[in-house]
Amino acid sequence: MKKLYIETYGCQMNVNDTEVIFAIMQDEGYGRTEDISEADVILANTCSIRDNAEQRIRGRIEQFSHYRKKRPGTIVGIVGCMAERLKDKLLDSGRVDLVAGPDAYRSLPSLIASITPDHPAINVLLSHEETYADINPVRIDKNGVSAFISIMRGCNNVCSYCVVPYTRGAERSRDPRTIIREACDLWSRGYKEVTLLGQNVDSYFWKGEGGNVDFADLLAAVAKINLRLRVRYSTSHPKDISDKLIETMARHGNICRCIHLPVQSGSDVMLEKMRRRYNRQWYLDRVRKIRSEMPDCVITTDIIAGFCGETEQDHRDTLSIMEEVGYDSAFMFAYSERPGTLAARNYPDDISPEVKNRRLTEIIELQNRLSLESYRRDIGKTFEVLVEGPSKRSPRELCGRTGGGKMCVFSSTGKDLAAGDYAFVKVRDCTSATLLCELV
Ligand code: 5AD
Ligand code: SF4
């Protein structure tokens, strides 16, 4: 059997795409290997979101060529967002045999079959229809407890800093029947948690014979599969997150109280330039609605420091919205100009690296404090956690997440608990990223 090795970079959607690629290649007789030195095909499933992501991957591509030299005939391929962005430029180095964009995975077997020592293969066509709806992903998670399900692909938002609409193409939703089928299948195989994935899940929409299905309808349908199946989703767009969705979450105990709501900036001037199409007031109103329906809901975010023309006042607006919302955690980035985006074409990347990094550090320091405060508020509370397995730091302890997604570590002495079990724990202490608990 031929062996396929894939390294995955970037977001959860890419992880799920890797699972789709394994499924497509499995039908062609390829088995999965985690040992790169025995691979017949080495793929990097890549990310273009920031320049440093691409630089890291370039370094890896160089290392791949050592394996290609050691085992002549080994194919090295670049797939995913960087493949779509850079297209045949990736072939220039002579280190790459295959380039395939996010909508070209069905053609991987024929592309690979067509490769000769002098002729690499490339397919970077984007599609308006492809959702890989019929493909049953080969799961690569470690514990068999939680899995991702892609419910849509592409993005129509065109935020001015973002490369995704160019790398993943236009937005399209997947047939809800195939989503439900996939979730049911996971449940029957012992999975206890599914995360529905899309760049902007709130614009999920399926026009069907039996009626239309929006994201709130889909979420409710998945939640009804079984009350013991935890349902998560990512990512919401603040401009689109609807009262109906928030109320649907509040009605279903097994939809996790956890919303990732990327704010990007707290300044109206920056939000306008970023083309986010909401303002600070609107965002805070959405947070109020979430908190009024679900006071215990965890809210997390993404923040960009040092976007084009950002003043000290704009930066302070970001710090103040963070305080006002009190995020439980956040992903924080320095702005990285991406070629071809609206921002790259229209606004100079004029904040110096020093200032960007100083602002980013201030944002990270503030978030560390907010996270610690959020975790400290949980001390003394009891949560139901879904056990994921032994804790990384001390194998004698177990770890599992609360519905809000916070990691709990606890000793299991006396109880026979395994990955996939639910357990109640009481929080004794915490760090800014872990709740230290005991079983109750
Ligand atoms: N520079 C920095 N961060 C970016 N993000 C997206 N594009 C860029 C960029 N050009 C961040 C946003 C987004 C997250 C996935 O990555 O915060 O929500
Ligand atoms: Fe995911 Fe965006 Fe990176 Fe593509 S560019 S892999 S969509 S994070």
Cβ count near 72 (within 10 Å): 7
State if residue 162 touches ligand 1 by the CB under 6 angstroms criterion.
yes
| Number of domains the chain is built from | 2
Amino acid at 128: H
Amino acid at 332: M
Parallel/antiparallel/unpaired status of strands 397-401 and 172-173 = unpaired
* Domain's final residue, options 123, 158, 187: 123
Q: Quote the ligand 1 centre to 153 CA distance (angstroms).
A: 18
Structural contact between residues 43 and 75, judged by C-beta atoms closer than 8 angstroms = no
Q: Is the pLDDT of residue 393 over 90?
A: no
Structural contact between residues 2 and 29, judged by C-beta atoms closer than 8 angstroms = yes
* Backbone phi and psi for residue 307, each to the nearest 5 degrees, phi listed first: -70, 165
Q: What is the pLDDT of residue 209?
A: 86
Q: For 51, what's the count of Cα atoms within 13 Å in the CB-facing half-sphere?
A: 8
Q: Is residue 413 part of a domain?
A: yes
The predicted model scores a pTM of: 0.96
Find the mean pLDDT for residues 291-316: 98
CATH of the domain at 47: 3.40.50.12160
Find the mean pLDDT for residues 79-91: 98
Q: Which residue has the tokens 């790459």?
A: 96
* Domain's final residue, options 123, 141, 157: 123
Q: Is the pLDDT of residue 414 over 80?
A: no
Find the mean pLDDT for residues 56-67: 95
Q: Is residue 407 part of a domain?
A: yes
Q: What is the pLDDT of residue 199?
A: 95
Q: Which residue has the tokens 């928030």?
A: 246
Structural contact between residues 48 and 11, judged by C-beta atoms closer than 8 angstroms = no
Helix (H, G, I), strand (E, B) or coil at 10: coil
Helix axis angle, 243-251 relative to 215-223, nearest 10°?
10
Find the mean pLDDT for residues 21-27: 98
- Nearest Cα to 339, choosing from 11, 59, 48? 48
Which of 358-368 are b and which e, b meaning 16 or more Cβ less than 10 Å from the residue's Cβ? ebbeebeebbe
Give the tens place of pLDDT for each residue, 234-290: 999 999 999 999 999 999 999 999 999 999 999 999 999 999 999 999 999 999 999
Q: What is the pLDDT of residue 216?
A: 98
Query: How does residue 423 score in pLDDT terms, banded at 50, 70 and 90?
Result: very high
Helix (H, G, I), strand (E, B) or coil at 31: strand
- Please give the number of the atom of ligand 1 that sits closest to the Cα of 334: 2
CATH of the domain at 387: 2.40.50.140
Give the tens place of pLDDT for each residue, 195-215: 999 999 999 999 988 899 999
Q: Is residue 69 part of a domain?
A: yes
Name which residue sits closest to atom 1 of ligand 2, judged by CA.
11
Q: Is residue 171 part of a domain?
A: no
Q: Is residue 155 part of a domain?
A: no
Name which residue sits closest to atom 14 of ligand 1, judged by CA.
302
* Domain's final residue, options 123, 146, 169: 123
For residue 66, give every residue at least 6 positions away whose Cβ sits within 8 Å of its Cβ, in sequence order, or none. Answer: none
Domain containing 46 equals: 2-123
Name which residue sits closest to atom 6 of ligand 1, judged by CA.
162
Q: Is residue 265 part of a domain?
A: no
Give the tens place of pLDDT for each residue, 311-367: 999 999 999 999 999 999 999 999 999 999 999 999 999 999 999 999 999 999 999
Q: What is the pLDDT of residue 415?
A: 82
What are the distances in angstroms from CA 134 to CA 23, 110, 344? Answer: 11, 19, 37
Structural contact between residues 425 and 385, judged by C-beta atoms closer than 8 angstroms = yes
Q: Is residue 140 part of a domain?
A: no
- Nearest Cα to 333, choosing from 10, 49, 15, 46? 49
- Please give the number of the atom of ligand 2 that sits closest to the Cα of 53: 3
Ligand nearest to the CA of 82: 2
Q: What is the pLDDT of residue 394?
A: 82
Ligand nearest to the CA of 333: 1
Q: Is residue 423 part of a domain?
A: yes
CA distance 284 to 326: 11
**Mean pLDDT across the chain, nearest whole number?**
97
Q: What is the pLDDT of residue 312?
A: 98
Most ligand 1 atoms within 8 A of CB, residue of 9, 50, 303 to mutate: 50
- Nearest Cα to 371, choosing from 421, 430, 284? 430
State if residue 229 touches ligand 1 by the CB under 6 angstroms criterion.
no
Start-end of H helices in 226-267: 243-251
The fraction of the chain above a pLDDT of 90, given in percent, is 96
* Backbone phi and psi for residue 405, each to the nearest 5 degrees, phi listed first: 95, 5
CA distance 20 to 103: 11
For residue 88, give every residue at least 6 positions away whose Cβ sits within 8 Å of its Cβ, in sequence order, or none. Answer: 99, 122
In degrees, rounded to 5, the angle at the alpha carbon of residue 432 between the alpha carbons of residues 427 and 436 is: 25
CA distance 138 to 141: 9
